[in-house]
Structure 1
Amino acid sequence: MRKLYRSLLWSGLVAAGVAACGDDVTVVGPAKVVHSVSVAPDGATINVGGTVQLVASVNADSGLATTVTWKSSDVAKATVDANGKVTGVAAGSVGIQACSTVNASVCGAATITVTSAPTVTISIQSITTGATFIPVNVNNVAGQIDVSLNLDPGTQGVTEVDVLIDNVVAAKQTFASAVRADTNKANAATILLSVNTADFNPTTGATTYKNGSRSLTAKVVLAGGSQKATEGTALFFNNANTFVATPTYTGTTASATGTSGTTIGLAYKRGGVTWGVLPVIYTTGQSLA
């Protein structure tokens, strides 16, 4: 009787085991997670208006997204776009954070320092008599003068440098693209501009500048149109009054020919010549007899 009971019990257990083995079984492993986010470079310094590109590295289990969202701790000092590009707004220190889009509690950060942008500076290094490198006598200026300028473009972008006489542009240098230290890597440079103080209109004899006290300044024009100028340097123009004679030809134009009758390329006027004389007066109130 005992043997029969044991046999029946064993058969039931085996049958139950077979039924259990026939069921679908799902095995659940450990959940996938984002382990960490790091941001580089950390500790970068940029100027106001300058930029730096940050890169986020996400350590996550296979199959999980490695994208992040960006955030600035102080948008008054620096902003960051959706791609991690940081732009300086005002001087100070700011944290830039990148958080996993899978788990927003997993973040990395970098500290960015924003400094005030170096401003453009311009100064007059020297004023010399044209092509001689001899310092001009500021109380007796005549003819051409050469003005050497010290320019440091800073990071604001310089598009033009001018020399002005009495606040009117007398000479200038322009740049095809704005010169700035942060993008063009331009360092302080010397720019030479020339002004002919004896300039006049050859048709009318009218002078550009009259003799007397003048103020010479230098100016930079920045990208966007703003300007910055130096203090004025006092000069006294003292060009001599003069005459200008210009010929007027009458008749026809001919070409010289060789002995064989071929043209040798020397053109000349055939006929009369009338000379016109124009007075060029630099000193107001004077005349030439």
Structure 2
Amino acid sequence: MKEKKFPMKWLKALDWFLREKRIFYKEEELLSPHTTIKIGGQALRTVYPKEIKEFISLLDYLNKEEIPFYVIGGGSNLLVNDKGYQGVVVFTKFMKGIEIFKENEVLRLKILAGTKINEIIRLGYERGFGGFEFLAGVPATLGGAIRMNAGAFGKSTSLLVKKVTLYQEGEVKEIEPKENDWTYRAFKIEGIILSAELELIKAEKEEIRKNLQQVWEKRRATQPISEKTFGSVFKNPPCCYAGALIERVGLKGYQIGKVKISEKHANFIINMNGAKTEEVLSLMRLARKKVYENFNILLEPEVKFLGIEDGCLD
């Protein structure tokens, strides 16, 4: 989508609104430190609400004034234009908290969108409840994990989510998702996720610990977890793994400028320090082209784009 620039007077009005509401914000902050691949230019404003009511008030204002904005959780699965974003970025990372309101054979939790997945896993382990171990080590917030229906090793976030609270067209709605509300790597119901209710299952601590250890060992063995990446680049097509297809066309370890396809897992792109957005896009285009030419499969990006026009991979 082509970016819409808004007049400076709108910025001044936004600053006044944020100061009046006492919502913390920064001017022209670099986004690269907030993404796991460490690429991205400045946003006109970055805003950090701490409570749901602040978040809703901010969303109401941005929508009313038609100011372009984007919500970021943990900053994974995201490629930001290194020329910046002509809009407002709202971070949910300070909007976190877990409320326990049922604990017997299942642990029912109400969790704010900015809460890190690993905090949920840790609380479950401490109380003897599991089910989220498959996402151990993923640098995501709950809101992002739900929106992307994050998954690994044959499991996905949708298995645990019982209720989602969304900001949708100026209203706050509670939804109990049905099976057809989820697809592979997506929660289909539109809106901005404010919080959700999850259920973890009672389990022995030793069993949870072993599950966590197995997940960590598998990640270390198969993924470049110590490198700057945004996680999986492409969604797996129904037939096979995207990484295997990219490897079969000979691109494992292939490098353009300061980015390369991981030698450990071909569905990961590594920023080797100082990488540019266009270098990442060039490598993604090449992988898509080669896979399509060889297998007649068009890989769909799992990564989201900010400040980058639609059709960037064509």
Q: Which has the larger radius of gyration?
A: 1
> More strand by proportion, 1 or 2?
1
- Same fold (TM > 0.5): no
> More helix by proportion, 1 or 2?
2
